[in-house]
Amino acid sequence: MKYNFNEQIDRKNNHSAKWEEMGKNFVSNDLWPMWIADMDLKTAPEITCAMKEKVEQEIFGYVYRPDSYYESAVEWLDRRFGYKISANTLINSPGVVPTLSLLIRQMTKPKEKILIQTPVYYPFAATIRANERVVVENKLVSDEDGYYTIDFEDFEKKVSSKEIKLFILCSPHNPIGRVWKEEELRKMAELCLRYNVRIISDEIWRDIVMPGFRHIPIASLSKEIEDITITCFSPTKTFNIAGLQASFVTFPRNEDWKKFDTELGILDIKRNNPFSLVAFETGYRKCSTWVDELILHLSGNMDYVLEFVREKLPEIKVRKPEGTYLMWLDFSSLGMNKQELSRFMQEKAKIALDDGYWFGESGEGFERMNVACPRYMLEEGMKRIEKAVIEWRKVK
């Protein structure tokens, strides 16, 4: 391996939300932090080097985006996923969630219904409601082994109702870790085509896919599907640079591109900062090997959790994710309600995880764990959970 992903890290005095803002969401700030989706791994040294060069210029004024910035994203998409798009379809935006908010306003009216698939990344529902739209859920179905699939009968019922004109897809899916198969994507897209429903596809996790699986951009399936799909993506999760806050949006329809560009202009949020500019392009041009090795590290961490649970925590159910660096742990056999489970993790295990109910009602009984960290951090987190479960066994 060229890169070391097990290096000891120290994020003190880093203004890290993950480490130093736990008190806003949890009982205290001294829990073991395995929540919020950023990595406790240093970003690729190629990116760090490029940013140091920018620092050495000692001027951080307004910057413009050269053609090479967008071309780097286009070329990465072609190399990694075999999908060719034009750089002219891309717009830079402050982030995927702000993009969703603007698109919801642009594509729907207040009180209109928007379809999501729960349990899902909780800002989906929050953003829909904050914009005075109505959340409609197509609940994903889990078998006894924790493998989730799409309830297509319910999906078609929802999209054929004529009340829904917009579907927000999470692909790969957070938090359940599914990388949707081509037939699943095609069936959803063809139903949306049939019933005149537009698609926003959040593909921010597309680069973090485990060996043996392949992410397929839904818009790549056909020109007709591409035409109804707006795709959001970003290198921020890929290279652990979320704090640089920028992303891309792909608009196949030029009229949608113009509307969105106008909205960004009204809010005066069209510029990058000078660091996101160089970090994004450097990541896409120079860090393919880093991502490949990162995925092997993440896969090894996931295997460690699976083995630990198999040997020491039979009460917990968990599957290896197909994508993302998030594991979806089922604690429902402990018989706790959502508040009790949350307190158990914080007060007994002394660990900060994302509570499953944040992702929707169907997430109750689950906890989402971030395994993008050095192995020693993961070992400590699992030991804390084990200790708490051992105490639970004594009093149950």
Tell me the average pLDDT of the chain. 97
pLDDT confidence of 396, banded at 50, 70, 90? confident
Mean pLDDT of all residues in 221-227: 98
CA-derived radius of gyration, the chain: 21
- The pLDDT, as a whole number, for residue 13 is 87
- The pLDDT, as a whole number, for residue 118 is 98
Identical fold for domains 22-44+287-390 and 61-286, yes or no, is: no
Class of CATH domain 61-286: alpha beta
350: left (phi over 0), alpha (psi -120 to 50) or beta: left
pTM: 0.97
- In the numeric block, the tokens 């924790």 are attached to 146
Q: Express each pLDDT in 237-265 by its tens digit.
A: 999 999 999 999 999 999 999 999 999 99
- The pLDDT, as a whole number, for residue 271 is 87
175 touches 363 (CB < 8 A): yes
Q: Express each pLDDT in 108-165 by its tens digit.
A: 999 999 999 999 999 999 999 999 999 999 999 999 999 999 999 999 999 999 999 9
pLDDT at 367 over 80: yes
- In the numeric block, the tokens 């900062």 are attached to 273
pLDDT at 272 over 90: no
β-strand partners of 248: 92, 233
Cis amide bond preceding 172, omega within 30: yes
CB under 8 Å to 62, separation ≥6 — which residues?
A: 271
Alpha-carbon distance 307 to 380, whole Å?
15
Structural domain boundaries in the chain: 22-44+287-390, 61-286
Cis amide bond preceding 374, omega within 30: no
CB under 8 Å to 83, separation ≥6 — which residues?
A: 77, 217, 219, 220
Class of CATH domain 22-44+287-390: alpha beta
- In the numeric block, the tokens 């004594």 are attached to 394
Q: Which helix (H) or strand (E) holds 183?
A: helix 182-194
